[in-house]
Amino acid sequence: MSTNMPIALPQGFSAHVTNLGIKDSSDDLVIISAASPIAASGVFTKSRFAGPSVLISRDHLTNGSAQAFVIISKNANVANGSQGVDDAHEVVGLVARHVDCDPTDVLIASTGVIGRPYPMEQIRGGFERIGTGAGGATLADVARGMMTTDTVPKIAAATIAGSTALVTGAAKGVGMIEPDMATMIATVLTDADMPADRLDDIFRRVVDRTFNCVSVDSDTSTSDTAVLLASGAAGIVDELAFEDALEQVCRSLTKQIAADGEGAETLIEVRVDGARDHGQAKRVAKSIVNSPLVKTAVHGADPNWGRVAMAIGKCSDDTDIDEQRVVIRFGDRELFPRQVGERELAELSDYLKGDEVLIHVSLNIGAGESTVWGCDLTDGYVRINADYTT
> At residue 380, does pLDDT exceed 90?
no
From the candidates 18, 148, 183, 254, give the one annotated as an active-site residue.
183
pLDDT of residue 178: 53
What is the radius of gyration, based on Cα positions, of the chain? Answer: 22
- The span from the CA of 3 to the CA of 157, in Å, is 7
Residue 369's Cβ-side half-sphere holds a number of Cα atoms within 13 Å equal to: 10
* Burial of 62: CB neighbours in 10 Å, binned 0-12, 13-18, 19+: exposed
- Name the β-bridge partners of 383: none
Q: What are the tens digits of pLDDT across the range 104-137?
A: 999 999 988 888 999 999 999 999 888 666 678 9
Say how many C-beta atoms besides its own lie within 10 A of residue 82's C-beta: 8
Query: Helix 292-299 vs helix 305-313: angle between axes, to the nearest 10 degrees?
Result: 170
CA 88/CA 75 separation, integer angstroms: 11
* 24 touches 15 (CB < 8 A): no
Q: How confident is the model at residue 183 (pLDDT cuts 50, 70, 90)?
A: very low
Contact 75, 150 (CB under 8 A): no
pTM: 0.83
More confidently predicted of 345 and 362: 362
CA distance to 37, 130, 160, 388, per residue, from 193 (Å) = 13, 31, 12, 42
Task: Quick: pLDDT tens for 196-244.
Answer: 999 999 999 999 999 888 876 666 677 889 999 999 999 999 999 999 9
Identity at 246, one-letter amino acid code: L
pLDDT at 3 over 80: no
Is 183 marked active-site?
yes
pLDDT in tens, 54-90: 999 999 999 999 999 999 998 999 999 999 999 999 9
Rounded Cα gap, residues 99 and 93, in angstroms: 10
Decide: 56 and 66 in contact? Cβ < 8 Å. Answer: no
pLDDT given for residue 213 in this prediction: 85
